[in-house]
Amino acid sequence: MKVITVANQKGGTGKSTIAFNLAIAAMRDGLKTLLVNADLQQTALDVALVRAENDFKPTVLVANITSDVIHTELSKKYKDTYDLAIIDTGGRDSKAFRSAMAAADVILVPLLPSAPDLWASQGTIKIAQEIQKARHSQVHIFCLLNQQVRNTIIGEETVEILKGIGALSLETILHYRQAYKRSFAEGKGVIEYKDREAVREIEALWEEVCIWL
């Protein structure tokens, strides 16, 4: 079983939306996928419930694991059942937060292209890099620019700053679109929605992440 962890200590970076959309994309590709809620706010559980109430298929299976041994629980309980686990973390540094990153093959650090978000995300990037070093580079770490406003250069500037602190960014950038919020509120992935540009973004994100799994 491969594991993607979506992590940032800063709130409001779109972790749950990204984790959910990746889960929908993975299931569409035929992977038996587990969405792991590691956040006490339980957003992943909430959106899965909305999806179930609307009877949308495929069903998103969610495991609620908020303990500090997420990596151990995934290995013991789920590794022989699922092809992929996607972990939606909480927004603060904790043993559970670090355990979620320690379980990962790929760590995605979503951040908004702004100086305050970049500053606030550096702690998460540092923790991820420490875990990567401890695991002898067996985990891949990428920043993901989210809610980029079109026709602005701040995203490019953010990428250059990230390079300066030794952080890699995915080529895929998610732009600010109402479709992400609306589809999420309905329990749908964007690829099940009607915004073609948003669909292309999530498809590109999934394809790029798959390269590193």
pLDDT category of residue 120 using cuts at 50, 70 and 90: confident
pLDDT tens per residue, range 149-205:
876 777 778 878 888 878 889 999 999 999 999 999 999 999 999 899 999 999 999
Strand, helix or coil for residue 88: strand
Nearest to 172 by CA among 193, 195, 203: 203
| Bond preceding residue 58 cis, omega within 30 of 0 | yes
The domains located in the chain, with CATH, are 2-211 (3.40.50.300)
Contact 139, 104 (CB under 8 A): yes
Q: At what angle do helices 15-28 and 196-211 cross, to 10 degrees?
A: 80
Which pLDDT score is estimated for 60? 97
Which pLDDT score is estimated for 116? 84
Q: What are phi and psi of 209, to 5 degrees?
A: -65, -40
pTM: 0.94
Which pLDDT score is estimated for 166? 80
Which pLDDT score is estimated for 174? 96
